[in-house]
Amino acid sequence: MASSLRPRIVSFYDPDTAGTDSRDRKLQDILGWSDLELERSHDYIQWLFPLPEGSVFNYNAPIIDQEVMEAFRGQQNLQQGLRLSFRRIIQFYGFTISEEEAAPVITPLLGNQNDTTSAAQPDLSTPPEATSSSSFPSESSVYRVVRGDNWGLAHRNWTAPMNHNHLRISRILRSLRVLGLQRECTAFYTALKEAFDYPETRIGAKSMMFWTRATELPLWIAPDGEKVAWLKNWEEKNA
């Protein structure tokens, strides 16, 4: 049972408390479900990817307030749990994560460009580990969502017009942004745009429009146009 003084969704995602959802299911229980269970059940997605708006499909769904949002943005253990949910759900959709080492930034040598001797000899006076981190990109790897080995079968569950998973995807994108996982949101949206153009998919333009809104609108505006006052105030203060 979650503490009455602590939001239940935070306890649900906190590995130290391993709280339960409104049906007494733990996060790890849901993440261990088969693809068939993820497809047929309709009251778990609101717990894996909560929103600042209520759900007409699940009146017991958690609703993000500022306390919850700041908890997720400020606590690595909550973000890690959200990343696990993200990895599981995109696997369900036939995607996987690809992380490639980013190419190092090469700084042109200064001084006499004709001095081939100095250019050919590296400066060994400073060990590599002492190199300033500001010389490199902030991200150590290129993070992408790509088609997984199960794409051929998995995509058939959702790449058709008016599929109920399209609403789930809008929720996932928005939840990731609000809770601080912008990198994951951007990578997923990029993969969805690519999937929209695949010859084997039949994703409607309206669904793609809502995914774009979920990714690009200000945080305080939901894809359907609903506005969240406290989130607007927060976004303006943190602009």
Average pLDDT rounded to a whole number, residues 217-223: 98
Angle at 89 between CA 29 and CA 34, to 5 degrees: 50
The per-residue DSSP string of 204-223 comes to -HHHHHHHHHHHHS-TTB-T
Q: Residue 53 in contact with residue 228, Cβ under 8 Å?
A: yes
d(CA 216, CA 236): 16
Model confidence, pTM: 0.83
For the chain, the structural domain boundaries read: 8-102+150-237
Confidence of residue 239 (pLDDT cuts 50, 70, 90): confident
pLDDT of residue 196 exceeding 70: yes
pLDDT band, residue 133 (cuts 50/70/90): very low
Q: What is the pLDDT of residues 23-72, one digit of tens each?
A: 999 999 999 999 999 999 999 999 999 999 988 778 889 999 999 999 99
The confidence score (pLDDT) of residue 121 equals: 40
Average pLDDT on 167-173 reads 98
More confident residue, 141 or 105: 141
Question: What is the tens place of the pLDDT at every residue in 64-116?
Answer: 999 999 999 999 999 999 999 999 999 999 999 998 876 665 555 444 444 44
- In the prediction, which pLDDT does 227 show? 97
Provide the pLDDT confidence category of residue 117 given band limits of 50, 70 and 90: very low
H helix intervals, the chain:
8-13, 27-31, 35-40, 45-48, 66-74, 76-92, 116-120, 151-154, 165-178, 182-196, 205-216, 229-237
pLDDT of residue 107: 52
Q: What are the backbone dihedrals phi and psi of residue 83, each rounded to the nearest 5 degrees, phi first?
A: -65, -35
List the structure tokens of 98: 């690809």
CA angle 227, 231, 236 (to 5 degrees): 110
> Are 214 and 206 spatial neighbours (Cβ–Cβ below 8 Å)?
no
CA dihedral 182, 170, 233, 72 (to 10 degrees): -50
- The token pair at 43 is 């009251």
CA 196, CA 8: separation in Å to the nearest integer? Answer: 36
pLDDT band at 118 (very low <50, low <70, confident <90, very high): very low
Q: At residue 20, what are phi and psi to the nearest 5 degrees?
A: -115, 160
Most distant pair of Cα atoms in the chain: their distance: 72
